[in-house]
Amino acid sequence: MTLRFLLAAVAVVGCSCTHTPVTRNVAPPAPTPVSAFDRQIRNAHDAGDGDYQLRTLRERVAAEPDNPAARLELAKAYRDRGYPDVALEILRLAATRFPESGEVELALVRQLHELKQPNEAVANLQVFLKQHPQNGAEYYSWLGILWDQMGQLPTGEQAHRQAIALAPSADYLHNNLGYNLLEQRKNSDAAAEFREALRLNPASQFARNNLAMALAGDNRSSEAVSNLQAGTDPATAHSNLAAVLMEKGNYAEARKELDIALGYNSSHPAALKNLELLSQLDGSPATLPVSRAAPEGTRWQRWTLGIKKLFVGPLDDTQTKQAAESATH
């Protein structure tokens, strides 16, 4: 029974007196305000009641309170269902309960990074590393990423270098350091780190794209294209370089690269999308370039066209195209 109903019951009992009770129009007490987080917790709980996996995980956490893996699974389940704040609170409680768990600490750091709360993540991670300095390179790499997110690039560089000192053969650590240097406009140093990442892992598309960005920043576009082309076709390479140039605000050079890309493949989806975006940025129309001339073809194709010209006479453009197509099939 609520307070309002209790007051009503008292008024009824009071009516047995000989005098007429004085009644007043008293406004009911204001409800206690519910925070956005409490409301989200309630919604998440309601959602979980109809979700067999969530209900099972909650029951598992309740039955195994000293099992950090169960709490990590529960946090991931809530995050995957669109409740990142609930996942964060679960991880905060887990980190308090299991301060020695590096797995819990990294999960908490990732969640704070995702929710753009790097200050708390850095503070927690620094405390953890002070207590567990023997932990591996991944912790210092995340510390560098968080400093980068906060705009503290020189401090982030130190953390990235400390991570590499612990694991020099990890390609992703060199890529992370290279990106930090790229943000500091140290393009040559950044390129050296990206090259090292590619030496360790030639299949790393992140390092390859970042190397192209570093080379383009040093006005070495041809080398950037050659690097990109090593992992893809020419049209994609020039389109990717155009994207790099667009990000740098070099719209004129980006348009040239898109012209080349669409010259190779006039229906290249990424190049067409980049051209549309570029037209919005620089205000110029998204016009397609004039198609490249058809390649001369093989020696046999050139010989066939020569014979046709000898016996048929000069060919116009349409006939030349038809002849080339017939020689190809």
| pLDDT (tens digit per residue) in 227-246 | 665 666 778 878 877 887 88
User: What is the structure's pLDDT at 234?
Assistant: 79
Residue 112 CA to residue 131 CA, distance in Å, equals: 20
Number of domains in the chain: 1
User: What is the structure's pLDDT at 266?
Assistant: 85
DSSP code, position 289: P
| Range(s) of the domain holding residue 304 | 295-329
Q: H or E element: which one contains 188?
A: helix 187-200
Residue 187 CA to residue 98 CA, distance in Å, equals: 42
Residue 112 CA to residue 246 CA, distance in Å, equals: 30
Q: Which two tokens stand for residue 139?
A: 């912790």
Q: Which of 98-112, 160-174, 234-248, 249-263 has the lowest mean pLDDT?
A: 234-248
303 within domain boundaries: yes
Residue from 39, 78, 82, 84 nearest 57 by CA? 78
Query: Are 173 and 160 within 8 A, CB to CB?
Result: yes
248 within domain boundaries: no
Percentage of the chain beyond pLDDT 70 is 67
User: What is the structure's pLDDT at 134?
Assistant: 67
Mean pLDDT of 93-107: 94
220 within domain boundaries: no
329 within domain boundaries: yes
20 within domain boundaries: no
322 within domain boundaries: yes
- pLDDT of 160 higher than 70: yes
Residues near 213 by beta carbon (within 8 Å), at least 6 away in sequence: 182, 224, 244, 247
312 within domain boundaries: yes
- pLDDT of 205 higher than 80: yes
- pLDDT of 55 higher than 60: yes
User: What is the structure's pLDDT at 286?
Assistant: 72
User: What is the structure's pLDDT at 3?
Assistant: 36
Give the confidence band of 44 by pLDDT, cuts at 50, 70, 90.
Answer: low
2 within domain boundaries: no
Higher pLDDT, 72 or 28: 72
Query: Are 258 and 221 within 8 A, CB to CB?
Result: no
pLDDT tens digits, one per residue of 263-288 = 888 888 888 888 888 888 888 877 77
